[in-house]
Structure 1
Amino acid sequence: MARRKKVYEGKAKILYEGPEPGTLIQYFKDDGAPPVAVAPAANEGKGVLNNRLSEFFMSGLNTIGVPTHFIRRINMREQLVRMAEIIPLEVVVRNFAAGDLTNRLGIPEGTPLPRPIVEYYFKDDKLGTPLVSEEHIIAFNWANQQDLDDMIALALRVNDFLSGVMMGVGIRLADFRLELGRVWEGEFMRLIVADEISPDSCRLWDMRMTEGPDGTIPDPGPLHDVYTELARRLGVMPSNVTHTTKPSLIN
């Protein structure tokens, strides 16, 4: 078997040259950066589950007309994707106050927001992926105003889709992050959803909470064993895979 050329390696994925021009093979590793220390063995199977979950979400978005880089799943850990010029921003959509938003503005965690809020973070691990404004984005030529308008529209469509899917299986989508890329089709450029959609990039709260001794039902909390439980509820659980770590949360 011919050795494939590695294009990029991150915390959770490796990208290899694809079999055809303009394609890549995206390999999902078990590695990542969970918010708490876990034993190395606890990561076993995470990449397999994220591959299946991202396939499920990306395929669904393609079906409803939201363009993504996903072409097809190759095997348990790999999928064929379109090559795209990645915009150096993380686009975060927030439906409920949590994490960094709670810390910055003092809004109690779990508070429903009056509308989905879209934020931008500059992708630079050395700088801690800082929050940036539209003025920064345009001034530094990371994207133009038309790009930003398209990014917001795309992010909100993804939010509608994901929120509905999660709600249908008893999960609240508090917030999530996207990476977007540019592809050229002839003389025209379009934005597409790239990278992945998985528990690594979503904050998910379980709405199926057990009734307490006093008869009250607690507020939604983090989904237990999020990778396995989400795959099970969505019906995409591969056989002989378990996973017990927590997801990487959005700031």
Structure 2
Amino acid sequence: MAPRRKKIYEGKAKILYEGPEPGTLVQYFKDDATAFNAQKKATIEGKGVLNNRLSEYFMTGLTNIGVPTHFIKRLNMREQLIRQVEIVPLEVIVRNFAAGSIAKRLGLEEGSPLPRPIVEYSYKNDDLGDPLVPEEYIIAFGWANQQDLDDIVALALRVNDFLTGVFYGVGIKLIDFKIEIGRVWDGDFMRLIVADEISPDSCRLWDMKTGQKLDKDVFRRDLGNLTDAYTEVAKRLGVLPTNTQPIKPTLIN
């Protein structure tokens, strides 16, 4: 029997295990869905499989246009091999249309276009509810320096251009998304690369014609079956594992 893999980290939607080579990890996608900082939880059959496939699709596409990512290859239905990175403790949020917290904060109508893509940051800390932080805080507390932030904005906007185009091509409007950024060292030289995942868990996606939500808001706001929404995204992009049957979610407390 193979020895048990060493678990490095478990988050709300993924588990990281020690990888086969130094400097690599295995990222496992769970079926768990959480919202409102894990106050609402469910296990949603097939979600992990879909997100693994979708994240592979987006990360591969980014690599092809020269945006560096942590993705190496998909290993199976639920796992992918990734580069081990030092995660910058920020969620980098790119907004194209007003929705969620920015709509509330500024009294904007959900879905109204923003004058230009807005990049903002939240400090990765579940206990604090991932508070929004200005650049001033980020630099003062040493989470990233000014050069890093310039590089992060450039990466985020390139990801936005790529994703906006891909989704537009299949009739989906990219409202907003979040990414995480990792540092990798090549000798003495440090580079910033896109890490974590890109999936409907981390984007807001609306159907262009109907405005139907095809992302985690379906779960947050009880708008139907989350697997169906993610399956629809995967189908349109032509990335569907054959044996994913939509199954009713089972709620757990």
> Structure 1-normalised TM-score?
0.89
Question: Which residue does 1:221 correspond to in 2?
Answer: 212
- Which AA in structure 1 matches 2:174? L
Question: Which residue does 2:190 correspond to in 1?
Answer: 189
Indicate whether 1:237 and 2:240 are aligned: yes
CA distance in 1, matches of 2:246, 2:118: 31
Structure 1 pair 96–6 and aligned structure 2 pair: CA distance change class (3 A): same
Contact 2:85 2:183 in 1 (8 A): yes
Of residues 138-147 and 1-10 in structure 1, the stretch that sits farther from structure 2 once superposed is 1-10
Identical-pair percentage: 71
* Unmatched tracts of structure 1, length 5 or more: 210-219, 247-251
> How far is the alpha carbon of 1:208 from its aligned partner?
3.4
* Unmatched tracts of structure 2, length 5 or more: 215-223
Question: Which residue does 1:60 correspond to in 2?
Answer: 61
Question: Which residue does 1:138 correspond to in 2?
Answer: 139
- Which AA in structure 1 matches 2:67? V
Of residues 182-191 and 27-36 in structure 1, the stretch that sits farther from structure 2 once superposed is 27-36
Report the secondary structure of 2:51's partner residue.
Answer: helix
CA distance in 2, matches of 1:208, 1:17: 44
Contact 2:32 2:42 in 1 (8 A): no
Contact 1:227 1:244 in 2 (8 A): no
Alpha-carbon RMSD: 1.7
CA distance in 1, matches of 2:53, 2:19: 19
The 5 A counterparts of 1:64-103 are: 64-103=65-104
Q: Deviations over 1:87-111 (max 9, x none)?
A: 0000000000011001000111111
The 5 A counterparts of 1:1-251 are: 1-34=2-35, 40=43, 43-209=44-210, 220-223=211-214, 225-243=228-246
Report the secondary structure of 1:199's partner residue.
Answer: coil
- Which AA in structure 2 matches 1:77? R
Structure 1 pair 245–141 and aligned structure 2 pair: CA distance change class (3 A): farther
CA distance in 2, matches of 1:99, 1:242: 30
Q: Deviations over 1:64-96 (max 9, x none)?
A: 000000000000000000000000000000000
> Structure 2-normalised TM-score?
0.89
Q: Deviations over 1:138-192 (max 9, x none)?
A: 0000000000000000000000000000000000000000000000112211000
Contact 2:45 2:248 in 1 (8 A): no
Aligned residues: 234
Q: Deviations over 1:36-90 (max 9, x none)?
A: 96764xx010000000000000000001000000000000000000000000000
- Which AA in structure 1 matches 2:183? R
Contact 2:59 2:69 in 1 (8 A): yes
CA distance in 1, matches of 2:91, 2:40: 24
CA distance in 2, matches of 1:145, 1:183: 18
Structure 1 pair 195–207 and aligned structure 2 pair: CA distance change class (3 A): same
* Runs of 4+ displaced beyond 2 Å: 34-40, 223-226, 242-246
Q: Deviations over 1:211-244 (max 9, x none)?
A: xxxxxxxxx2313732111111011110121347
CA distance in 2, matches of 1:114, 1:244: 40
